[in-house]
Structure 1
Amino acid sequence: MTLIVGVRYLVTSGAFALATRVRKPGLYAGLDRQIGREIRWSLASAAIYGIPAGIVAWGWQAHGWTRIYDDVNVWPLWYLPVSVFLYLFAHDTWFYWTHRWMHRPRWFRIAHAVHHASRPPTAWAAMAFHPIEALTGAVVIPLLVFAIPIHVAALGLVLGIMTFMGVTNHMGWEIFPRFLVDGPAGRWLITASHHQRHHDRYGCNFGLYFRFWDRLCGTDDGLGSFEKRGTAARARAGHGVDRRVAGHDAHR
Structure 2
Amino acid sequence: MTLAILLSALAMTLIVGVRYLLASAGFALATRVRQPGLYRGLDRQIRREISWSLASAAIYGIPAGIVAWGWQARGWTLVYRDVHAYPIWWLPLSVLAYLAAHDTWFYWTHRWMHAPRPFRIAHAVHHASRPPTAWAAMAFHPWEALTGAVVIPTLVFVIPIHIGALAVVLTIMTLMGVTNHMGWELFPRWLVEGRAGRWLITASHHQRHHQEYRCNYGLYFRVWDRLCGTDKGLGRFDRGG
Indicate the TM-score class for this superposition, using the shorter chain for normalisation: over 0.9
Aligned counterpart in structure 2 of residue 10 of structure 1, from 6, 21, 36: 21
Deviations 1:28-72 (A, max 9, x none): 000000000000000000010011110111011001110000000
State the match for 1:82 in structure 2: 93
Any unmatched runs of 5+ in structure 2? 1-11
Aligned counterpart in structure 1 of residue 35 of structure 2, from 24, 47, 59: 24
User: Quick check: 1:170 aligned with 2:181?
Assistant: yes
Aligned counterparts of 1:25 and 1:37: Cα–Cα separation in 2: 21
One-letter code of the match for 1:73? H
User: Quick check: 1:198 aligned with 2:199?
Assistant: no
- Tell me how many residue pairs correspond in the alignment: 230
Aligned counterparts of 2:67 and 2:97: Cα–Cα separation in 1: 19
State the match for 2:4 in structure 1: none
State the match for 1:249 in structure 2: none
For residue 111 of structure 1, report the CA deviation from its aligned partner. 0.1
TM-score (norm 2): 0.95
RMSD: 0.6
State the match for 1:250 in structure 2: none
User: Quick check: 1:61 aligned with 2:76?
Assistant: no
For residue 165 of structure 1, report the CA deviation from its aligned partner. 0.1
Aligned counterparts of 1:71 and 1:56: Cα–Cα separation in 2: 19
Q: Give the match's secondary structure for 1:100.
A: helix
For residue 120 of structure 1, report the CA deviation from its aligned partner. 0.2
State the match for 2:107 in structure 1: 96
Identity %: 80
Q: Give the match's secondary structure for 2:225.
A: helix
Deviations 1:56-97 (A, max 9, x none): 110110011100000000000000000000000000000000
Aligned counterpart in structure 1 of residue 134 of structure 2, from 112, 119, 123: 123
Aligned counterparts of 2:208 and 2:131: Cα–Cα separation in 1: 11
TM-score (norm 1): 0.91
Q: Give the match's secondary structure for 2:54.
A: helix
Q: Which 4+ runs in 1 deviate beyond 2 A?
A: none
Q: Give the match's secondary structure for 1:162.
A: helix
Q: Give the match's secondary structure for 2:73.
A: helix
